[in-house]
């Protein structure tokens, strides 16, 4: 099974997360390191991008296990 590129999906996951937060009235969210996370995916550090990548990888792993 060919799944979409992790980077493309991670960017969409981040975008959905931001939209969810904005709908709750949240305008700023900082990481433990103090990095602002309510910015576009492209502006995130690699460490912050890994939060979204890990989510996508976990979902992809679940899909692969269920597809067997």
Please say if the pLDDT value at position 68 is more than 90: no
- Please report whether residue 54 resides in a domain: yes
Q: How many domains does the chain have?
A: 1
pLDDT over 90 at 15, yes or no: yes
Q: What is the pTM of this model?
A: 0.91
pLDDT value, residue 47: 97
CB atoms < 10 A from the CB of 10, how many?
21
Per residue in 26-66, pLDDT tens?
A: 999 999 999 999 999 999 999 999 999 999 999 999 999 99
pLDDT at 14: 98
Report if residue 13 sits inside a domain: yes
Is 1's pLDDT higher than 90?
A: no
The dihedral over CA atoms of 8, 53, 39, 21, expressed in degrees to the nearest 10, equals 110
Residue 25's domain spans which residues?
A: 6-66
Domain contains 33: yes
Whether 17 is covered by a domain: the verdict is yes
**Residue 40 domain-assigned (yes or no):** yes
């Amino acid at each position: 099974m060919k799944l979409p590129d992790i980077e493309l999906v991670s960017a969409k996951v981040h975008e959905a997360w931001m939209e969810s937060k904005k709908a709750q009235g949240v305008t700023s969210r900082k990481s433990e390191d103090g990095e602002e996370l309510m910015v576009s995916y492209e502006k995130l550090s690699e460490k912050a991008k890994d939060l979204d990548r890990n989510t996508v990888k976990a979902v992809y792993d679940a899909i692969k296990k269920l597809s067997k």
